[in-house]
Structure 1
Amino acid sequence: MKQLLPLVFLFLAFQVHAQINIHVVDQQTGNSLKNVRVKAGNSPIVNSNSEGKITLDFTESTEIIFALEGYETLSRNFEPGDHEVHLTPISINLASVTVSAFESERPLLEQSSAIAIVTERDFNRFNETSIVNSFNTKPGIRIEERAPASYRVSIRGSSLRAPFGVRNVKVYWNDVPFTAPDGTTPLNLLDLSNIRAAEIIKGPSGSIYGAGNGGVVDLRSQAEPQGGKISTDLMTGSFGLSRYRLALNQPIGNGGIEASYVRQKSDGYREQSAMDRKVFQLGGLFKASEAQEIRTQLLISDLNYQIPGGLNADQVAEDPTQARPGSVEQNSSIAQQSVYASLGHLYHFSNATSNNTTLYLTTTDFENPFNLDYKKELSYGYGGRTKFTINTQLGGKDLRLIAGAEYQTSRTEAQNFGNRGGVADTIRFADKLKASQGFLFQQAEWQGSKELLITLGLSENFSSFEIDRQIDASGGPIGLQKRTFDPILVPRLAFNYRINESSSLYSSISSGFSPPTIDEVRTNEGSLNLDLEAEKGLNSELGYRLGKDRLNVDATVFYFQLKQTITTYTNEQGVVLFRNAGATDQKGIELALDYTLIQNSDSFFSNLQIGTAFTGHYFKFKDYQNNDNDYSGNDLTGVPPNNLITRLDLRTKPGIYLNFTHQFTDEIPLNDSNTVYQDAYNLVNLRFGWAKWLGTSWELEVFGGVDNLLNESYSLGNDLNPFGGRYYQPAPTSNWYGGIKAAFNY
């Protein structure tokens, strides 16, 4: 018996040590957090007690997930023993948030560029039908929606050459180049549920991302698996709006899969503005070992939306809901079915060296009956991106080296027909199109001192396109025509100076370029403008960031000089054409300020945040003469000089919340001569609801809201320099929405 006693004590001691004891506290206040939902391995969800403590019986390292309303979800591995876990309040603090801009994961305070972050919290402040409202709360960014699902993205005025679609901005989705090699981006194929977060780099970023003077939009939907979940959303609203979503998150080993299906429909505010979009997404994340990770994505999107067209001032005054004459009869619309598939691989050769590679395939079937013609396109493309990261030292200081490459190519069978009552008629011309672009990039980040980080980047860019005309009913020449742009070197030099733990200064000088897209060279009436030159720009900026306690400040001033600026004009038939317009001077200031007034999970008003975002874009034509007209010194077309956003977000302990947003947009010049302006307007949006966990497994939210609460008359996406004065695309008047969300966690 005496011999057994030591074994018994040893067994009991092992059992005590085998437990994982955790104390959960608020990162800012140090207060204990009760009722934190804790998911460990395959065990059921349990809650922390009134002292913020929990004990779990595990004998080995285990991944544990912590979730509490008002706090960021945390997922980490824990060994048996005693631990203290700090949960971060959901309000973003610039001193703690990490971003991956310029392929370098660093805290935002160490980044040396103007970056805006959009999170699910931003998306959930609005109706969740599009990215427009959430992105537009960030300084320097303006997304226009001329009709449901018809987007234009403007980062520092970059939509000047985009009469429709998204151009001059590079977009990535889960490491996949979502911008096609011809320079266009089908952003409307994505539902908002396909985006969890976005990082927007403002200004030329070609040293790492290639063509595009506007900037980069990096969209993410994948996240670390955080337990099993089945969820669904239902929503309805004005103008025939309906939306439903069904999703599944299923952990598998050290990874998991995500699947979702979303359908959104609306009749639209205007005649001929209905929309119907169906999106299926399947993603996988698999950790083959501690050294490597495999990611997969499949996106299938079926989009149909009508195009009401622009109106002149008299037509808007008569009836802003009417379509442009002829749009209904010709069924002006777009039908687009696309498939994206990607495979990504992350491999750590050592703690200091890694490689991240993503390959993708895509195919698209596109039809566009328009007032003047009928376009059909069938295309496929492929490409990939790879980067190597090496962490080493130079002169006893940390040095991070990044090198990689990106390549894309696409082939398109494009046919343009006459349009007879919405049906394709006699063929007018047909082309085989090929677009290719690629670049090599290198970047060095040297920690010259504890405070100073120096970044030097450089890319070598190559792009070309081919137009092989097969048919020209007008008797014009047929055959192959090519345009290869000279290789372009794009450098960037940047500095970040860390003033203290909560603030920093940064500055950068970067160049950029943007070749014309095929749609700008090959226009709808059949002409080819092969002489159109690439835009080239030089950007200088200086910024300051502060992230202290509950206050965030992010301020930037910049000066961007653009040469060979591409602008639009419209001929007598209403066809949009393009031309190089000399040079522009673009000076600006962007300021974001956020303050958390209340952050206390135990009080009735558990969270109250206010914020403001100011954009001052003072852009001028520097040297622009069109025939006998000299527009030098005029305001840049389509850019409001001042924009001010004010936000208020309130959450209560019972789960009731309120989101209020006010947006002031200054008057906008609509033609190069600055003789026509859209009036300034004030837009007010409101969302309210109740969201709560029921027990440890169920999440429930009931919500409603009103957009354009003041019933303002405005145009969200004007036509620039149009023929016949058709400047205006009237946006919806005051409208409501409401819905319910439910999720079961297992």
Structure 2
Amino acid sequence: MLRFLLLIWLLPVSVFAQTTLRVVDEQSGEPVPYASLKGNNQQAYVADENGVITLTIAVQTEMQLSHVAFQSRQVTVPDSGELTISMQRAETSLTEVVVSSFDSERPLLEQAAGIARVAESELYRFNETSLVHAFNTKPGIRVEERAPASYRISIRGSSLRAPFGVRNVKVYWNGIPFTAADGTTPLNMLDLSNIQNTEIIKGPAGSIYGAGNGGVISFKSDLRVTENRIGTDFSLGDFGLMRYRIGVDQQMEEGGIKVSYAKQRSDGYREHTAMDREVLQVTGYFKPSDKQRLTTQLLYSDLFYELPGALTAAQREEDPRQARPGSAAQNASIDQQSMYGVLSHDYQINPNFSNKTSIYINTVDFENPFNLDYKKETQYSYGGRSSFTYDGAWGPIPVRLIGGGEYQFSKTAAQNFGNRGGMADTVRFSDELLTTTAFLFQQIEAELSDRFLMTLGLSENFSSFDIARNIDAINGMPSTAKRTFDPVIIPRIALSAKLNPTAALHASISSGFSPPTIDEVRTNEGTINLDLEAEKGINYELGYRGSFNQGRVNVDGSVFYFQLDETITTYTNEQGVVLFRNAGATDQKGIEFLVDYALIRNQLAFVQELKLTHTFAGHYFTFADFMQGENDYSGNDLTGVAPHTVVNQLDIRTRPGFYVNFTHQFVDDIPLNDANTVYQEAYHLVNARTGWRGTAGNKLDLEVFAGVENMLNASYSLGNDLNPFGGRYFQPAATRNFYGGIKVGLKY
């Protein structure tokens, strides 16, 4: 009887034993107050001001721990006892954002350069069909899309020499050079799902990344596999927009495999602007040992899009949706299939010494009927990059030494035909193109004191191209042309000075160069311009970064002066073919500024976060020395660059999961010719998105969303033709349009 009474007395203790959780900041170890813990039954427990949660559960349970300023995580809560759980900050301040620019992982606060970061969450503030709007929220960066998938990128005015495509900017994807050896970048191959985070260096970074005065864009996918998951997205929009994606993550012992397939199509706002793209990415992530990480990637893209061509002012007023006369009849379009195979290896040789090596092979089939001709190309290329890092000391001074090299080779069979009703006609010329580029780089980072970090970098650059013209129907004789550029040495010196733990000044002097691309040397009308010289420039920059009020307020600003010699500019002949020339020098003075602040950040309130962001770019760029025949354009504003750009953003996130993203962008008048007689008028562009994100238990993630682009129905061009023949400047962008979609993720 006594044993029975004792059992009855102890039973409630065993069934209703308490569990105490202590939630702490992973970095500082400080308590995280008011974190929310939620189980399958959706009952929520909230930590007190000391980060302590006390709860009573019958059995061990998987639960979701979240906080507005930290990354959410799954935790296994025992049925009794005490447990300390650490949470990783959600990078709400500049002191917490770590970037790997200049091949060195350091907090953004310590980086002595103009660097912009586009997080995955910023890509998903818009319709998820392209990176255009997200990139255009960053000061000094402008991405143009004259037709769906027809991109042009300008970093501090670097698109001056890009009538089409991405030039003068070096692009990397998961550590491999995505910019080909010939200087072109197939950015439109990528679906947004192939990109999770992006770092952008504004201005020349040749000391460690080689050619490209505009800067460097580094795209990164999340290669790790942390759970078994299947997810799918589906969205629809005006002008025939449709996109869907399906992805599977499968864990394996010490690694895993990811497979993602995305398809996107649209009819386009204008006539003859249809687009269709399929992208498949397969990623393998493995850890052969504690010191090694091995990743393999296969990326296949099949892209087709139509080219409507630019309109005159009169045609734009008559009907902005029309295509340039002849574009549809000649089937002006791009049809491109490309495949990348990538192998990357990270090796921590010892605690102080590590290596990162990536190699790739790439094949491209390219077909481009245009109003004036028909181009076919088949390209095979390969290359790689290897970087060694040593962390040690030089006497009492901690140093980081970085050294390595990069090599790229491409072989292209290129043929140009006449265009008869959209079909390839008689061959005009046929070339075999060989392009090689390589460079070595060295960098030392010295921590002169707790406050001062000095960086010295240097690269030695080599490039050449070889053109064998096997068929020449114009001149009647085969020929060869070869150009080997003189080796170019590119230095950089930079200094970062901490004013306090959350604020720093930075200054840098960096050189850059950019040889002409193969498309600029070998133009569509058949000439080979061996006289084009490489652009060379030097950039002076001074900046400030700071975070205040525990990361609620962040400021990032800089002023710069960039001098560019042998500037490559474009002009158009009477047949409408774009040609290139060196045009003297440019002076580019600018100021760029970003501030964001959280008016509300409260885990317990209905509105958990209300955040405002403002950016400003003032680009005062002029031709310093530019003669065109008898015309002296010296002192004119640089073609294609808006002197002022302002962006305002409002983000609201609520406890039930509803959110609102609002974006306003002002773009000033843009000169469209070197004479500064034709301008794109200033415009205001407003975009908005709202939706709900939530979970159903521990296994299912859901999101539904809807949005509107060009809310004010502004008349504008998201990219214009510069210095065109016949006054065809304008590529009208879409009027007000709507979209919506759903995302589902299931853990298994």
| Structure-1-length-normalised TM-score | 0.93
Match for residue 5 of structure 2?
none
Equivalent runs, 1:197-596 vs 2, <5 Å:
197-548=197-548, 549=550, 550-596=552-598
Quote the residue 2:37 is aligned against.
35
Q: Which residue of 2 aligns with 1:24?
A: 23
SS of aligned partner of 2:485: strand
Hey, what's the Cα distance between the residues in 2 that align with 1:98 and 1:718?
Answer: 36
Cα distance, 1:690 vs structure 2? 1.1
Write the distance in 1 (CA, Å) between the matches of 2:63 and 2:568: 53
CA RMSD after TM alignment? 2.4
Gapped regions of structure 2 (runs ≥ 5): 1-18, 56-61
Shift of residue 632 of structure 1?
A: 0.2
Aligned to 1:58: none
- Determine helix, strand or coil for the equivalent of 2:693: strand
Tell me how far 1:64 sits from its aligned partner: 12
User: How far is the alpha carbon of 1:100 from its aligned partner?
Assistant: 0.2
- Superposed CA offset, 1:724-746 (max 9, x none): 00000000000000111111123
Q: Kindly indicate whether the alpha-carbon contact (under 8 Å) linking 1:46 and 1:696 is maintained by their aligned counterparts in 2.
A: no
Shift of 1:212: 0.1
Q: CA deviation at 1:691?
A: 1.1
**SS in structure 2 at match of 1:639:** coil
Aligned partner letter, 2:692: W
Q: Distance in 2 between matches of 1:445 and 1:30?
A: 35
Q: What is the deviation of 1:225?
A: 2.4
The one-letter code of the counterpart of 1:24 is: V
Inter-partner Cα distance in structure 2 for 1:29 and 1:532: 62
| Cα distance in 1 for residues equivalent to 2:708 and 2:379 | 40
User: What's the counterpart of residue 86 of structure 1?
Assistant: 87
Which of 647, 650, 653 is 2:649 aligned to?
647
Alpha carbons of structure 1 residues 33 and 479: separation in structure 2 relative to 1, 3 Å: same
Query: Residues 520 and 74 of structure 1: is their aligned pair in 2 closer, same or farther, counting only changes over 3 Å?
Result: farther
CA distance in 1, matches of 2:82, 2:542: 47
Change (3 A) 1:119 1:45: farther
Contact 2:142/2:154 (<8 A) preserved: yes
Take 1:310 and 1:290, find their aligned partners in 2: how far apart are those partners?
56
Partners of 1:209 and 1:45 in 2: how far apart?
A: 52
**Change over 3 Å in CA distance of 1:86–1:544 after alignment to 2:** same
> How far 1:26 moved relative to its partner?
6.6
Q: Separation in 1 of the partners of 2:41 and 2:281?
A: 27
Q: Deviations over 1:207-251 (max 9, x none)?
A: 000000000000001243221211100100000000000011122
Measure, in 2, the Cα distance between the counterparts of 1:473 and 1:66. 70
Shift of 1:70: 6.4
Percent pairwise identity: 59
Deviation at 1:656, TM superposition (A): 1.0
SS of the residue aligned with 2:350? coil
Map of 2:629 onto structure 1: 627
In structure 2, distance between residues paired with 1:499 and 1:620: 35
8 Å contact kept, 1:24–1:32: no
Q: Once the two structures are superposed, what CA deviation does each residue of 1:625-681 show, in whole Å capped at 9, x if it has no partner?
A: 011000000000000000000000001111111110000000000000000011000
* 2:709 matched residue in structure 1: 707
Aligned to 1:637: 639
How many residue pairs get matched? 715
Q: For 1:354 and 1:628, how far apart are their aligned partners in 2?
A: 58
2:151 corresponds in structure 1 to 151
Which residue of the partner structure matches residue 108 of structure 2? Answer: 108
**Matches of 2:112 and 2:424, distance apart in 1:** 51
Query: What is the identity, as a one-letter code, of the residue corresponding to 2:561?
Result: Y
| Per-residue deviation, residues 672-710 of structure 1 (Å, max 9, x unmatched) | 000001100000001011111111111111110000000
Q: How far did 1:289 drift?
A: 1.1
TM-score, with normalisation over the residues of structure 2? Answer: 0.92
Deviations 1:549-571 (A, max 9, x none): 20000000000000000000000
Taking a change above 3 Å as real, the CA distance of residues 426 and 75 of structure 1, as seen in their structure-2 partners, is: farther
Question: 1:4 is matched with which residue?
Answer: none
Letter of the 2:324 counterpart: R
**Cα distance between partner residues in 2 of 1:680 and 1:670:** 13
**Structure 1 residues 88-113: Cα deviation after superposition (integer angstroms, max 9, x where no partner):** 2x463101110000000001111111
Matches within 5 A, 1:45-84: 49-51=45-47, 71-73=70-72, 82-84=83-85
Equivalent-residue separation in structure 2 for 1:564 and 1:354 (angstroms): 39
Amino acid at match of 1:681: Y
Which residue of the partner structure matches residue 132 of structure 2? 132
Q: Which one-letter code corresponds to 2:395 in the other structure?
A: G
Match of 1:40 in 2: none
8 Å Cα contact 2:447-2:454 kept in structure 1: yes
Q: In 1, distance between residues paired with 2:629 and 2:279?
A: 47
Aligned to 2:486, the other structure's residue is in SS state strand
Shift of 1:361: 0.5
1:375-417, CA deviations, whole angstroms, 9 ceiling, x for partnerless residues? Answer: 0000010000000000110121110000000000000000000
Which residue in the other structure is 1:3 paired with? none
Q: How many angstroms does 1:36 deviate by?
A: 5.9
Amino acid at match of 1:658: V
CA distance in 1, matches of 2:41, 2:312: 59
Deviation at 1:24, TM superposition (A): 2.7
Q: Aligned letter for 1:712?
A: A
Query: What secondary structure, in the 3-state scheme, does the structure 2 residue paired with 1:445 have?
Result: strand
Residues 466 and 667 of structure 1, relative CA distance in 2, 3 Å threshold: same
**CA deviation vs aligned residue, 1:238-287 (integer Å, no higher than 9, x gap):** 00000000011122122222110000000000001000000000112111
2:697 to 677, 695, 698: 695
Q: Secondary structure at the match of 2:527?
A: coil
Between the aligned partners of 2:151 and 2:70, the Cα distance in structure 1 is 33
- Work out the CA distance in 1 between the residues paired with 2:722 and 2:513: 23
**Deviations along 1:145-181, whole A, 9 cap, x unmatched?**
0000000000000000000000000000000100000
Query: Is the Cα–Cα contact under 8 Å of residues 45 and 696 in structure 1 kept in the other structure?
Result: no
The AA in structure 1 aligned to 2:709 is: D
What is the CA–CA distance in structure 2 between the aligned matches of 1:482 and 1:737, rounded to whole Å? 50
Compared CA separation, residues 401 and 66, structure 1 to 2 (3 A): farther
Amino acid in the other structure paired with 2:613: G
SS at 2:188's partner residue?
helix
Secondary structure of the 2:272 match is coil
**Equivalent pair of 1:47/1:54 in contact (CA under 8 Å):** no
Q: How much has 1:547 moved relative to structure 2?
A: 1.6
The range that moved more, 693-702 or 444-453, is 693-702
- The one-letter amino acid of 1:72's match is Q
SS of the residue corresponding to residue 621 of structure 1 reads: strand
Which stretch has the larger CA shift, 140-149 or 592-601? 592-601
Match of 1:670 in 2: 672
**Deviation at 1:75?**
9.6
Q: Secondary structure at the match of 2:71?
A: coil
Q: Which residue of 2 aligns with 1:13?
A: none
2:94–2:545: 8 Å Cα contact kept in structure 1? yes
CA distance in 1, matches of 2:609, 2:352: 41
Q: Distance in 2 between matches of 1:544 and 1:221?
A: 29
**Alignment partners' CA distance in 2, 1:76 and 1:180:** 45
Segments of 5+ residues of structure 1 without an aligned counterpart are 1-19, 38-43, 56-62
Pair 81,413 (structure 1): closer, same or farther in 2 beyond 3 Å:
farther
2:175 counterpart residue number: 175
Q: For the residues of structure 1 that align with 2:98 and 2:571, how far apart are their CA atoms?
A: 43
> Which letter maps to 1:711?
N
In structure 2, C-alpha distance between the alignment counterparts of 1:141 and 1:652, rounded to whole Å: 31
Which residue in the other structure is 1:731 paired with?
A: 733
The amino acid of 1:615's aligned partner reads: A
Distance in 1 between residues matched to 2:487 and 2:518, nearest whole Å: 18
Kindly indicate whether the alpha-carbon contact (under 8 Å) linking 1:222 and 1:283 is maintained by their aligned counterparts in 2: no
Q: Specify the code of the residue in structure 2 equivalent to 1:492.
A: R
Structure 1 equivalent of residue 723 of structure 2 = 721
1:659 corresponding residue in structure 2: 661
Secondary structure of the residue that 1:287 maps to in structure 2?
A: strand
Alignment partners' CA distance in 1, 2:42 and 2:348: 35
Kept after mapping to 1: 8 A contact 2:42/2:697: no
